[in-house]
Amino acid sequence: MKEIYGKILEKALPFYEQGREGDVEHIRWLSEVITEYVDESEVDFDILIPVVLLHDVGYARVPQGSNPFNLDIRKFHSEQGAEIAEEILGELEYPKDKIAEVKRLILKHDNWAFGDDFSDEPILRIFSNFDFMWMATEKGFDIVRKFMKQEPEEFYKQIGTFQKKNEEEGRTWVNEKIEAFYHQLMNERKQQLSRAKGANL
């Protein structure tokens, strides 16, 4: 990871610590995996990585215990996040044109919840493939499941329902490797569920 990305993360972490539960892990996971699945020739990492690192900092200004699935909360954390991102990147003297672009994308990063398919936003398409997939990872599964107040089995099905909605609304996987990764994670969760079931018998 470039030195500047490390500095961005350093400045972002205090916001995540104050923000939504599990977001430190969420951001660390995203920033570790995302660059393994897309090439720097396809997308400007100097925009993608700051978007990844800063997209949810706005939860620091959302009242604790708010439901992140509430649409007003989604809008509010995106607006606040865009402002905080501008401050952080400004302090680091990040190029002004890139700050403006990162800010613009953070403002709309959750617009899938309002039906956006991101077909005209290649960076958000990649980003949201992974932002979505977080809930299928071992840690993300329990964190997001608790927000939704669902039992594991129920939440596993819920992810499938969300993914169906993605397909219906045209939010596709950026490449086959990313799609295969999602299926791998879902298989792991399925196996985990059947192991837990076996242990309870």
The owner of tokens 């403006």 is: 100
Minimum CB distance to Fe ion smaller for 165 or for 190: 165
Q: What is the largest CA-CA distance in the chain?
A: 59
The answer for residues whose C-beta is within 8 angstroms of residue 112's C-beta and 6 or more apart is: 118, 128, 132, 166, 169, 171
Binding residues vs Fe ion (CB under 5 A): 56, 110, 131
Kindly state the smallest distance separating residue 59's Cβ from Fe ion, in Å. Answer: 7
Kindly state the smallest distance separating residue 65's Cβ from Fe ion, in Å. Answer: 17
Kindly state the smallest distance separating residue 131's Cβ from Fe ion, in Å. Answer: 4
Minimum CB distance to Fe ion smaller for 11 or for 109: 109
| DSSP state at residue 201 | -
Minimum CB distance to Fe ion smaller for 56 or for 116: 56
Q: Rounded to 5, what percent of the chain is helix, strand, coil? A: 75, 0, 25
Cα–Cα distance, 154 to 104 (Å, whole number)? 35
Kindly state the smallest distance separating residue 106's Cβ from Fe ion, in Å. Answer: 8
User: Which candidate, 138, 122, 143, places its Cα nearest to that of 56?
Assistant: 143
Minimum CB distance to Fe ion smaller for 56 or for 99: 56
